[in-house]
């Protein structure tokens, strides 16, 4: 599959990757990346810190949190099945700067995880050889021999990755399957031991010797053991049927790994007898036993679980399978992350060079290998694990934000292969948990809170000095083709989307009136529709009608008000309008409406509905408004959140000697709203004095009918938009929208911004 850099007018990079991975391959790749340090380092550390029950809860709760983030990943990668993972999601959801940092974090997190797995392999293999009496030196996790073996095994799997995705996937699937079977055997033996000797359950007393809060620290420390689904997102360009297989693989891998971790943790704890604990001087509990043996505590417990010789062999096999499959997957993931940065020119494009022979990003692989080897050589194992965990916590937090933002702002643009249930609850749970776990990780390794910000600071320098000026454009982002600044600056800004030159001048008449009353500057916005198969560099041939409308509008308005214009490309018009409004801090969006949409999933249409629902500022929608001012203006009034804007809009569009009638309809038996009292109470928020309005009242059980009958005697009707989202308006048939659809006179629909919601809509 080709990966289009999408640079407007720039050269394209040949980035063909082979599509060879099936559901089994990518599932085992995720499992292989997860099962490794979580077992061989995490179990011993967790039991020593939070006790036996805390260790079980650590892995079980991390599995729940990981599933929340996995659902976000699954949804996003089903819509964006390309190499790059979180980098791609952030590019679409938040733009260039955020996407660079997502890729930068993703690369570092996976690279550090690869270093960690190579160190785990070295520590446990040397421990096994030492148990056989084959070593004549005392080794430990920072010993020269550990570093040398870690580098050797890392380079072996760099070569396997170089051979191509097919070789990587087959090797990863083989090792992951082997590790899963091996660890399932350990879990099964642990269950058999408890059945034969129920007294081993006493090892879980006390269940939580240090309380619940310490679990947050161990969860943060071992979170890296659940990040394997991230590597699956990197395989989008190399997976068969990615929209279907990637989400399935992610969710399956988390379930498999969570069950395996809990089973193996249980087995490791029940493997130790009271006699084994008593045999160590000064050790009185299972937690103390694991603290005594440290990083090799899991190996010792498995040796006790089985016969000494077979137990040692089983641990060695588990290490070989688990650490190497995880190492294989992390190298793959890190390579694809930095490849994506090079592909889109955030980093020098040479990094995205793909080998013609093996179809792998060879330069990205070499750069990743150099960083991984350096970390393995110069960093203690415990800190390496913490570095990886905190970076993945940051990364997954960002992906959960992307899932919310993309579904909310671009859901109708995306072709999803999977949609998470109970949205947005899973990503919100994931975000909250990741913040807490990252904070608590300082109790396990305060160095992680120095390294992570330092890496992000280095990324900021790279982005500022190189990436931001070289990055290519993609079709998922908003591209500014032409933009003019306003000739002068005024306190109020009106954004007016212009598409059809036939309607532009007629729509501009009420805009002119509003601009006069608000002392506003007007920005005309044209969004260029470009067919998917046409490169962005050829956008000029599609800008004709919009530019014609803008030229006519500027000739008409230019000598009256400060006018500026912007011509942009966006895959979705509503998103383009909202983005321009946020970017230019518009006070009003004024747009036209031609009547009820033919689509059943929208009321006003696929452009107007999202703008009303996500309004970052006041929105005014015009229907049949072809005059500059009106003699008789009806303003249906219910005292809702949009009443002030509706009354002010009515005052702005009414002729200087025109009549403005706030009209209130009360259902029989309901309390009537005192319109005059409302006007007096909000006098300081009205553009004209209360005396300019002539309130009118009616009692009727048919509210819509009463409003429709009254509207027949007026030139213009100004009404607040219905509350709630688009789906709620469609389901309930909101009265304001139904009235606007059924009457023939000119109609203005308004929706006022609220401070909290507008702030959220501007930034989230």
Query: pLDDT confidence of 728, banded at 50, 70, 90?
Result: very low
Question: Does 126 share its domain with 273?
Answer: yes
Residue 605 CA from chain centroid, whole number: 27
The pLDDT of residue 1 is: 37
Inside any domain, residue 76: yes
Confidence band, pLDDT 50/70/90 cuts, at residue 183: confident
- Degrees to nearest 5, angle at CA 476 with 344 and 100: 40
Share of the chain above pLDDT 90, in %: 22
Residues across the chain: 764
Model confidence at 574: pLDDT above 70: yes
Asked, for residue 430, whether it belongs to a domain, the answer is: yes
Alpha carbon 130 to chain centroid distance?
Answer: 46
Q: Looking at the predicted structure, is the pLDDT value of residue 436 above 90?
A: no
Residue bearing tokens 């190189």:
466
The verdict on 370 and 505 lying in the same domain is no
Bridge partners (DSSP) of residue 586 are none
Same-domain check for residues 423 and 524? no
pLDDT band of residue 745 (cuts 50, 70, 90) is confident
Task: List, for residues 337-395, the tens digit of each pLDDT value.
Answer: 888 899 889 999 999 888 888 788 889 999 999 998 888 888 776 677 788 888 888 99
| Same domain flag for 646 and 715 | yes
CA distances from 671 to 148, 663, 668 (A): 83, 15, 9
User: CA 726, CA 252: separation in Å to the nearest integer?
Assistant: 34
Separation between Cα atoms, residue 634 and residue 748, nearest integer Å: 10
Confidence at residue 64, expressed as pLDDT on a 0 to 100 scale:
92
Question: Per-residue pLDDT for 498 more than 90?
Answer: no
d(CA 364, CA 341): 10
Q: For residue 420, give the CATH number of its domain.
A: 1.20.1740.10
Quote the CA–CA distance of 760 and 751 in Å, as a whole number: 16
Same domain, 449 and 523: no
- Out of 543, 563, 592, a domain closes at 592
Per-residue pLDDT, 501:
59
Specify whether 412 is located in the same domain as 501: no
Q: Using the predicted structure, report yes or no on whether residue 758 has a pLDDT greater than 60.
A: no
What are 255's two structure tokens? 């379930």
Indicate the residue among 546, 576, 592 that finishes a domain: 592
The C-alpha angle 724, 729, 733, rounded to 5 degrees, equals 140
Given CA atoms 355, 360, 364, 365 in this order, what sign does their dihedral have?
A: negative
CA–CA dist 693, 579 (Å, integer)? 36
- Domain membership of residue 754 (yes or no) is yes
Residue 137, class by beta-carbon neighbours within 10 Å (0-12 exposed, 13-18 middle, 19+ buried)? exposed
Joined tokens for residue 505: 């001048």
pLDDT given at position 694: 94
Q: How confident is the model at residue 601 (pLDDT cuts 50, 70, 90)?
A: very low
Q: Are residues 488 and 463 in the same domain?
A: no
> What is the rounded distance in angstroms from the CA atom of residue 276 to the CA atom of residue 283?
10
In a domain, 10, yes or no: no
The SS3 assignment for 585 reads coil
Judge whether 12 lies within some domain.
no
Query: Half-sphere exposure (CA, 13 Å, Cβ side) for 11?
Result: 6
Q: Is residue 216 part of a domain?
A: yes
Q: Do 394 and 483 share a structural domain? A: no
Question: Does residue 578 sit in the same domain as residue 602?
Answer: no
Co-location of 113 and 165 in the same domain: yes
**Domain extent for 560:** 478-592
Residue 285 lies in a domain: yes
d(CA 610, CA 718): 20
pLDDT of residue 36: 59
Res. 4 pLDDT band, cuts 50 70 90:
very low
Q: Do 217 and 320 form a contact (C-beta atoms < 8 A)?
A: no
Q: Tens digits of per-residue pLDDT, 661-680?
A: 999 998 888 888 899 999 99
Mean of per-residue pLDDT scores for the chain: 81
Domain closes at, from 429, 446, 470: 470
Q: 588-592 and 492-497: which strand pairing?
A: parallel
153 and 203 belong to one structural domain: yes
CA distances from 520 to 159, 280, 512, 602 (A): 64, 81, 9, 31
Give the mean model confidence (pLDDT) for residues 433-451.
83
Among the listed residues 388, 397, 390, 391, the one whose alpha carbon sits nearest the alpha carbon of residue 430: 397
State the total domains in the chain: 3
CA 131 to chain CA mean position, Å: 47
Query: Residue 634 maps to which CATH number?
Result: 3.40.50.620
Q: Which stretch of 139-143, 230-234, 343-347 has the lowest confidence by average pLDDT?
A: 139-143
In a domain, 241, yes or no: yes
Among residues 1, 33, 534, the alpha carbon closest in space to that of 243 is found at: 1
Tell me the H-state helices in 584-614: 608-613
∠ at Cα 358 (352, 364), nearest 5°? 25
Domain shared by 445 and 507, yes or no = no
């Amino acid at each position: 599959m080709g990966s289009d850099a999408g640079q407007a007018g720039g050269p394209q990079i040949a980035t063909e990757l082979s599509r060879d991975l099936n559901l089994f391959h990518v599932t085992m790749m995720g499992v292989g990346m997860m099962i490794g340090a979580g077992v061989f380092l995490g179990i011993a550390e967790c039991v020593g810190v939070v006790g036996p029950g805390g260790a079980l809860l650590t892995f079980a709760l991390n599995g729940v949190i990981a599933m929340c983030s996995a659902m976000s990943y699954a949804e996003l990668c089903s819509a964006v099945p390309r190499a790059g993972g979180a980098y791609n999601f952030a590019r679409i959801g938040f733009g260039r700067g955020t996407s660079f940092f997502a890729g930068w974090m993703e690369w570092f997190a996976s690279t550090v995880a690869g270093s960690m797995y190579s160190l785990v392999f070295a520590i446990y293999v040397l421990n096994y050889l030492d148990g056989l009496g084959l070593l004549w030196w005392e080794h430990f996790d920072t010993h020269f021999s550990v570093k040398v073996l870690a580098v050797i095994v890392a380079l072996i799997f760099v070569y396997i990755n170089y051979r191509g995705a097919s070789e990587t996937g087959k090797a990863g699937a083989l090792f992951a399957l082997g590790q899963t079977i091996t660890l399932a055997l350990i879990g099964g033996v642990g269950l058999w031991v408890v059945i034969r000797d129920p007294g081993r359950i006493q090892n879980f007393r006390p269940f939580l010797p240090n309380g619940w809060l310490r679990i947050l620290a161990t969860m943060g420390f071992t979170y890296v053991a659940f990040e394997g689904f991230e590597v699956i997102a990197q395989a989008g360009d190399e997976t068969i049927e990615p929209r279907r297989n990637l989400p399935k693989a992610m969710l399956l891998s988390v379930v498999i790994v969570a069950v395996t971790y809990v089973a193996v943790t249980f087995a490791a704890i029940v493997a130790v007898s009271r006699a084994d604990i008593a045999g160590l001087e000064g050790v009185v509990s299972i937690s103390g036993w694991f603290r005594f043996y440290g990083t090799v505590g899991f190996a010792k417990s498995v040796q006790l679980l089985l016969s000494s010789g077979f137990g040692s062999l089983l641990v060695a096999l588990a290490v070989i399978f688990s650490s190497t499959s995880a190492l294989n997957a992390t190298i793959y993931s890190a390579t694809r992350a930095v490849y994506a940065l090079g592909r889109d020119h955030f980093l020098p494009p040479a990094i995205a060079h793909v080998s013609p022979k093996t179809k792998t990003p060879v330069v990205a692989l070499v750069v990743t290998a150099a960083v991984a080897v350096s970390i393995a050589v110069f960093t203690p194992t415990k800190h390496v694990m913490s570095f990886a965990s905190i970076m993945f916590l940051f990364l997954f937090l960002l992906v959960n934000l992307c899932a919310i933002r993309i579904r909310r702002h671009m859901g109708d643009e995306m072709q999803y292969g999977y949609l998470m249930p109970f949205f947005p609850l899973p990503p919100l749970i994931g975000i909250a948990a990741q913040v807490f776990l990252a904070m608590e990780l300082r109790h396990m390794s305060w160095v992680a809170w120095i390294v992570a910000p330092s890496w992000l600071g280095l990324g900021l320098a790279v982005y500022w000095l190189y990436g931001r000026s070289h990055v290519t454009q993609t079709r998922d982002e908003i591209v500014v083709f032409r933009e003019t600044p306003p000739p002068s600056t005024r306190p109020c800004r009106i954004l007016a989307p212009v598409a059809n030159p036939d309607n532009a001048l007629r729509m501009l008449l009420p805009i002119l009136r509003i601009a006069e009353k608000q002392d506003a500057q007007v920005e005309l916005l044209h969004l260029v529709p470009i067919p998917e198969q046409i490169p962005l560099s050829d956008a000029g041939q599609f800008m004709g009608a919009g530019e014609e409308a803008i030229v006519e509008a500027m000739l008409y308005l230019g000598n009256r008000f400060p006018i500026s214009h912007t011509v942009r490309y966006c895959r979705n018009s509503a998103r383009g309008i909202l983005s321009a409004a946020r970017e230019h801090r518009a006070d009003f969006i004024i747009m036209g409406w031609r009547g009820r949409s033919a689509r059943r999933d929208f009321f006003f249409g696929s452009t107007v509905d999202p703008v009303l629902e996500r309004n970052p500022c006041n929105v005014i929608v015009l229907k049949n408004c072809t005059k500059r001012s009106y003699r008789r203006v009806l303003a249906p009034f219910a005292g809702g959140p949009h009443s002030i804007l509706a009354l002010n809009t009515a005052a702005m569009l009414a002729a200087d000697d025109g009549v403005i009638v706030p009209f209130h309809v009360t259902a029989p038996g309901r309390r009537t709203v005192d319109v005059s009292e409302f006007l007096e109470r909000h006098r300081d928020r009205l553009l004209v004095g209360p005396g300019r309005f002539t309130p009118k009242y009616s009692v009727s059980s048919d509210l819509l009918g009463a409003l429709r009958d009254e509207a027949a005697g007026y030139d213009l009707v100004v009404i607040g938009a219905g509350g709630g989202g688009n789906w709620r308006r469609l389901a309930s048939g909101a009265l304001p929208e139904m009235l606007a659809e059924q009457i023939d006179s000119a109609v203005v629909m308004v929706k006022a911004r609220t401070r909290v919601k507008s702030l959220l809509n501007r930034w989230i």
